């Protein structure tokens, strides 16, 4: 503990917590450090991604989109039970791809809410005046939105899995499919969240972030579709598969299908043997590169 | 119409990063058309598919959304609209000036690139370019008026506009044919189909509504959105941001 010339004390305990003694009353309680701040920021951002702890209006969109994403799964789960089918009408690994539009709308709504407002209202300067490092802020926001998207995708998958088990599908097969779907969701979530956060962090103005994120997701998919259509009309199904690398969601979809040998949704045919490693590398890059670019972005963010 | 308001709106629209986003969208469309042209050669079917689907369905609404909401949304959002509203200019003039700017920007960055993409890709551009240019121009005008009105009415104009342009016009209209009757895209496609005349069948262009209906609805929407936007601007509540 050090004493400054005017007799006030500024204490910096081992944990890295900072409580400034400005002469009103002393604090004797536990001093939580940097890790606790990161945890708190993570939890708060995760709650915020569903509008919890924010205004009632902010809750409408996330829960509407959660319903839009979970509802088809619930319907399918009920239908397979009522009609007594013996398998799902689609692969569980393709669920994220089929519900790409509401998924990207969710990310487009929540990524700017998570990071743009902090930048616009210059709240980041308050965060960075605490023991929280800039990379901690990025890590907490990235993890929070990834977890939110994962939850968004996991709920319908679990509903489908439960529906399948209730309908008497082979248990091991259904659980394997569910596991594959969850692995797919675990890759899709950081890919979507990272891209969304990166675009939102460079567009602090209200509304612009939303537009930038959704425009990116819609346009890259449109480009990918057009390129794929072109390759198919040329009779080059192998080339059509390569075009799935043009958009994030189709990259992940193809990678998961190649990994588990399931039916791909985005492409016509699976990558040939070891070529699939290209999709694994691309998906890994889609997870890592936005994170690194976010670190770069926040290294130079102005706090004045 | 007030030249100063229009000039300030242009600066607000194209002065910041928004210009980048606005420029990227048409570049993507024309670039795609060029790539397809090089790889597959000129083809009318591909041109109608790419320009009519991706161009008219995605690029034009997005550009008009950015131009329409961007010409007034940020000002309402940061409160600086009060300095404009306190000037001795009628609110109607302000709205019309902003709308004119948004329409010109949407035409320049939405309709013209669409025609350029058609010119690059089509095998018989003489028949296709003008109908698509006029159809896209009509769509740009109606979208810009609609989204400008939305920006005055709600702070979530971008999300609401996206829900309409992407979810309603593309996804819902794909499953529910009735939804196509309430779609700016189909109305303007009706105009294009009529302008193509007898060639429309050959190019595979079919709109859900007739040209007369579509044209009337486009005009009605533009006028109604402008009027309602101006009315709402006259009684704009100035609350603080979230």
Starting at the earlier edge strand, list the strands of the sheet with A9-11: A2-3, A9-11, A19-20
Same domain? A58 vs A3 = no
Chain A nearest-CA residue for B78? A206
Predicted confidence at residue B16, as pLDDT, reads: 65
Same domain? A280 vs A295 = yes
Distances (CA, A) of A288 to A191, A281, A295, B197: 9, 10, 11, 52
Give the percent of chain A with pLDDT over 70: 93
Mean residue pLDDT across chain A? 87
Distances (CA, A) of B144 to A87, A215, B28: 47, 17, 21
Lowest mean pLDDT among A96-105, A261-270, A285-294, B59-68: A261-270
Same domain? A18 vs A51 = no
A45 within domain boundaries: yes
B71 touches chain A (CB under 8 A): no
Q: Which two tokens stand for residue A56?
A: 């009632």
Predicted confidence at residue A69, as pLDDT, reads: 93
Tell whether the model's pLDDT for residue A182 goes beyond 50: yes
Same domain? A38 vs A15 = no
Same domain? A12 vs A83 = no
Q: pLDDT grade, residue A304 (50/70/90)?
A: low
Q: Which of B159, B163, B240 to mutate to test the interface with A (most CBs of A within 10 A)?
A: B159
Same domain? A11 vs A129 = no
Count of CA atoms in the C-beta half-sphere (13 A) of A301: 30
Predicted confidence at residue A90, as pLDDT, reads: 86
Question: Do the Cβ atoms of A150 and A185 come closer than 8 Å?
Answer: yes
pLDDT tens digits along A189-208: 999 999 999 999 988 877 77
Tell whether the model's pLDDT for residue A8 goes beyond 70: no
Predicted ipTM of the assembly: 0.78
A283 within domain boundaries: yes
SS3 call for A11: strand
Phi-psi region of B43 (alpha: psi -120 to 50; beta: other; left: phi over 0): beta
Instruction: List, in sequence order, every residue forming a beta bridge with A9; answer none if it has no partner.
Output: A3
Tell whether the model's pLDDT for residue A49 goes beyond 70: yes
Same domain? A13 vs A160 = no
Tell whether the model's pLDDT for residue A16 goes beyond 70: no
Question: Do the Cβ atoms of B186 and B180 come closer than 8 Å?
Answer: yes
A233/B39 Cβ within 8 A: no
Distances (CA, A) of A5 to A2, A10, A27: 10, 11, 20
Cβ-in-10-Å burial (0-12, 13-18, 19+) of B132 comes to buried
A231 within domain boundaries: yes
More confident: A292 or A169: A292
Same domain? A173 vs A68 = yes
A46 within domain boundaries: yes
Same domain? A14 vs A48 = no
Taking 70 as the pLDDT cut, the residues of chain B under it are 16-18, 238-242
B17/A202 Cβ within 8 A: yes
Residue A44: closest CA among A147, A133, A120: A147
- Shortest distance between the Cα of B88 and any Cα of chain A, in A, equals 28
Q: Which of A215, A217, A233 to mutate to test the interface with B (most CBs of B within 10 A)?
A: A215
Which residues of chain B does A202 touch, with a Cβ-Cβ cutoff of 8 Å?
A: 17
A102 within domain boundaries: yes
Domain count along chain A: 2
Predicted confidence at residue A300, as pLDDT, reads: 86
In the 8-state DSSP scheme, what is residue B241?
A: P
Tell me the Cα Rg of chain B. Answer: 18
Predicted confidence at residue A281, as pLDDT, reads: 95
A304 within domain boundaries: no
Same domain? A10 vs A148 = no
B155 touches chain A (CB under 8 A): yes
Residues whose CB is less than 8 angstroms from the CB of residue B71 and which lie 6 or more positions away in sequence, other chains included: B9, B12, B13, B98, B99, B101, B102, B105, B148, B151
Distances (CA, A) of B102 to A2, A240, A271, A300, B7: 61, 38, 45, 34, 11
Q: Which two tokens stand for residue B220?
A: 């009605």
Predicted confidence at residue A233, as pLDDT, reads: 81
B17/A233 Cβ within 8 A: no
Q: How far apart are CA B103 and CA B110, in angstroms?
A: 10
A211/B166 Cβ within 8 A: no
Same domain? A94 vs A226 = yes
Instruction: List, in sequence order, every residue forming a beta bridge with A11; answer none if it has no partner.
Output: A19
Distances (CA, A) of A277 to A91, A246, A253, A256, A258: 22, 16, 13, 11, 9
Predicted confidence at residue A262, as pLDDT, reads: 87
**What is this structure's pTM?**
0.85
pLDDT tens digits along A111-166: 999 999 899 888 898 898 888 899 999 999 999 999 999 999 999 999 999 999 99
Which residues of chain B does A212 touch, with a Cβ-Cβ cutoff of 8 Å?
A: 21
Which residues of chain A does B157 touch, with a Cβ-Cβ cutoff of 8 Å?
A: 207
Q: How far apart are CA A91 and CA A99, in angstroms?
A: 13
Arithmetic mean of pLDDT, A4-30: 63
A234/B40 Cβ within 8 A: yes
Chain B nearest-CA residue for A215? B62
Chain A nearest-CA residue for B77? A206
Same domain? A284 vs A199 = yes
Distances (CA, A) of B16 to A286, B86, B167: 27, 25, 28
Q: Taking a contact as any Cβ pair under 8 Å apart, which residues of chain B between 2 and 41 contact chain A?
A: 16-18, 21, 25, 28, 32, 35-36, 39-40
Distances (CA, A) of A55 to A141, B215, B242: 20, 41, 8
Residues in chain A whose Cβ is within 8 Å of chain B: 55, 57-58, 61, 101-102, 105, 108-109, 117, 202-203, 205-208, 210-212, 214-215, 218-219, 222-223, 225-227, 229-230, 233-234
Predicted confidence at residue A4, as pLDDT, reads: 43
A135: containing domain: 34-299
Q: Which two tokens stand for residue A273?
A: 């043997």
Which residues of chain A does B21 touch, with a Cβ-Cβ cutoff of 8 Å?
A: 208, 211-212, 215
pLDDT tens digits along A67-118: 999 999 999 999 988 888 888 888 888 898 888 988 999 999 999 999 998 9
Chain-centroid distance, C-alpha A208: 20
């Amino acid at each position: 503990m050090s004493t400054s010339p005017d007799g006030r004390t500024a204490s910096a305990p081992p944990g890295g917590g900072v409580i400034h003694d400005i002469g009103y009353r002393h604090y004797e309680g536990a001093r939580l450090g940097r890790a606790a701040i990161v945890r708190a920021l993570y939890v708060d951002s995760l709650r915020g991604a569903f509008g919890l702890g924010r205004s009632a209006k902010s809750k409408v969109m996330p829960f509407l989109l959660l319903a839009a994403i979970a509802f088809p799964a619930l319907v399918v789960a009920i239908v397979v039970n009522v009609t007594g089918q013996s398998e799902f009408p689609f692969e569980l690994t393709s669920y994220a791809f089929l519900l790409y539009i509401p998924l990207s709308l969710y990310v487009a709504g929540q990524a700017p809410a998570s990071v743009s407002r902090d930048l616009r209202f210059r709240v980041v300067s308050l965060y960075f005046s605490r023991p929280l490092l800039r990379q901690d802020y990025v890590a907490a926001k990235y993890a929070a939105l990834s977890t939110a998207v994962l939850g968004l995708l996991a709920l319908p998958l679990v509903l489908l899995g439960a529906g399948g088990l209730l309908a008497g599908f082979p248990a091991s097969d259904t659980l394997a499919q569910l596991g594959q779907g969850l692995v797919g969701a675990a890759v899709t979530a950081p890919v979507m969240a990272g891209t969304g956060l990166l675009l939102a962090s460079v567009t602090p103005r209200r509304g612009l972030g939303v537009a930038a994120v959704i425009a990116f997701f819609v346009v890259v998919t449109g480009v990918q579709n057009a390129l794929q259509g072109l390759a198919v009309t040329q009779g080059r199904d192998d080339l059509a598969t390569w075009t799935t690398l043009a958009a994030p969601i189709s990259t992940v979809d193809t990678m998961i299908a190649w990994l588990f040998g399931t039916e791909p949704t985005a492409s016509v045919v699976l990558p040939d043997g070891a070529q699939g490693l290209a999709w694994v590398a691309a998906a890994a890059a889609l997870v890592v590169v936005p994170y690194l670019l976010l670190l770069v972005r926040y290294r130079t963010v102005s706090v004045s | 119409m007030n030249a100063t308001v229009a000039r300030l709106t242009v600066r607000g629209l194209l002065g910041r990063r928004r210009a980048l986003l606005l420029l990227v969208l048409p570049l993507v469309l024309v670039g795609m058309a060029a790539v397809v042209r090089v790889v597959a050669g000129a083809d009318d079917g591909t041109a109608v598919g790419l320009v009519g689907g991706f161009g008219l369905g995605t690029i034009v609404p997005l550009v008009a959304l950015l131009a329409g909401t961007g010409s007034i949304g940020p000002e309402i959002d940061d409160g600086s609209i009060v300095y404009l509203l306190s000037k001795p200019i009628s609110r109607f003039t302000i709205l019309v000036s902003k709308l004119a700017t948004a329409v010109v920007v949407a035409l320049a960055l939405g309709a013209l690139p669409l025609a350029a993409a058609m010119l690059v890709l089509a095998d018989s551009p003489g028949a296709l370019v003008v109908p698509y240019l006029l159809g896209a121009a009509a769509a740009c005008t109606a979208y810009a008026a609609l989204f400008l009105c939305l920006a005055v009415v709600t702070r979530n104009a971008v999300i609401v506009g996206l829900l309409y342009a992407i979810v309603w016009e593309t996804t819902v209209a794909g499953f529910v044919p009735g939804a196509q009757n309430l779609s700016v895209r189909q109305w303007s496609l009706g105009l294009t189909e009529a302008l193509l005349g007898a060639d429309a069948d050959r190019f595979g262009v079919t709109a859900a509504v007739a040209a007369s209906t579509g044209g009337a609805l486009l005009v009605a929407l533009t006028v109604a959105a402008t009027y309602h936007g101006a009315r709402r601007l006259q009684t704009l509540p100035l609350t603080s941001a979230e």
